[in-house]
Amino acid sequence: MDTFRFCPNPQCEYHQEAPAGERWYREKGKYYTKSRGIIKRYLCKACGKSFSSQTYHTSYFLKKPERFEEVLSRLVGGESLRAMSRAMGCSISLLSNRIDRLGRQGLALHSRFLKKQQRCEDICIDGFVSFDRSQYFPSEIPIAVGADSQFIIDASHCNRRRSGKQTPEQSAKSKVLYASTRMEKGGIMRSFREVLDTALGVQPPEQYRPFILRTDEKPDYARVIYSHPQFIYQTESNRFVFWRTPSWLPRNHTNPLFSSNYTEREIRKDQANHHRESVCFNRDSANGMMRLWTYLVWHNYLKPYRINCKHGKQPTSHAAARGISIPFKADFLKLWVCDRCFFSRERMSSAMEKTWRKAWETPGKANSGFIPRFVFD
């Protein structure tokens, strides 16, 4: 008989943790599937709900082979969805489904390992700018990253109006688009506050270690920080240091925002929908954030910290540089693509939860499509 650590029913008393050494479930027959053969079913003695061994797998409810590793490999390699579809011989909707599952799995694992970090360092927050649907709707994605480890802590999202000079034709078109599209007021400040609160929760200021935040000179960031309770009511044993860096400084290793600049460069390089002057771009904000988080989790836990380094032994990953002890990369990959994570058992930040729920709004679009009910179990 298979062994399970908890009941998959969110309303069950054994959902968070089942009693160790006690047989809290019993067998309830089996059924046959074309894709996976015979699947056993079980019944929880506490809540009376039935489940199967497939309920705990990332491929739950899938009718075709998963191919998660291939999708992940192609995604972080810079291929567009259309190119992946042609190479793998599958539809765009199938790829979106696999990326959604990888993204949600990655969010859950990241929220778990984030609680195990043991290192304190300066935090860099800067906005990564791309666009959704049209260049008239730029997207601002503030990303909190460790200044030394380049470990991504959190990322949020907002859409804003197009800035800079425009031709008369562009100006006329933008007025028509903005008149018929609802834009969030104060979105940049809201998204920045979300990642700042996550960083403060992960690394709160201590008596001998202040919280040091590095940003550029964007006024929206300063407004949020100067009105934040942690900054207003700081004491000698609870310090909050705000370090602003001019944008005209060279973007090299001596720049205080090097980690943010490095992260932006890697995303531009490795994500087809964020290339400069590309025909590939996000058609949907929620799908774009799910795809971005899949890449960021790979960056944190599977990508080497440094590839060409001649200065002694280096950490194996950005998570290791942050002081997070993770399994071997093969074991982490298996955990990512095999063991299903349940939304009701995870504790994520508000921005991560919005990505999980696909709650990011796309300008001029009603919703992000169908979301299965089991996603919120």
Cα–Cα distance for residue pair 346/241, rounded to 1 Å: 31
In 3D space, the residue among 298, 296, 310 whose CA is nearest the CA of residue 351 turns out to be 296
Specify the range with the lowest mean pLDDT, choosing from 99-108, 195-204, 269-278: 269-278
| Size of the chain in residues | 377
Are residue 310 and residue 343 in the same domain, yes or no?
Answer: yes
Residue 1's pLDDT is 52
**Torsion, CA 331, CA 334, CA 336, CA 342, rounded to 10:** -110
pTM more than 0.85: yes
- DSSP for 249-304 reads S--STTSTTHHHHHHHHHHHHH-GGG-TT-S--BS-HHHHHHHHHHHHHHHHHTS-
| Residue given tokens 């700042």 in the structure block | 196
Residue 221's pLDDT is 96
Residue 34's pLDDT is 81
Local confidence band at 133 (pLDDT 50, 70, 90 cut-offs): confident
Residue 312's pLDDT is 58
Specify the range with the lowest mean pLDDT, choosing from 212-221, 300-309, 350-359: 300-309
Are residue 149 and residue 101 in the same domain, yes or no?
Answer: yes
Chosen domain end from 31, 56, 81: 56
Number of domains the chain is built from? 2
Are residue 9 and residue 50 in the same domain, yes or no?
Answer: yes
Residue 352 lies in a domain: yes
Residue 63 lies in a domain: no
User: For all residues of the chain together, what is the average pLDDT?
Assistant: 90
Are residue 103 and residue 29 in the same domain, yes or no?
Answer: no
Residue 185 lies in a domain: yes
Residue 62 lies in a domain: no
Question: Is the pLDDT assigned to residue 308 strictly greater than 70?
Answer: no
Residue 66's pLDDT is 79
Q: 322, 149 in Cβ contact below 8 A? A: yes
Question: Is the pLDDT assigned to residue 151 strictly greater than 90?
Answer: yes
Are residue 45 and residue 82 in the same domain, yes or no?
Answer: no
Q: What is the mean pLDDT of residues 33-55?
A: 89
Question: Is the pLDDT assigned to residue 311 strictly greater than 70?
Answer: no
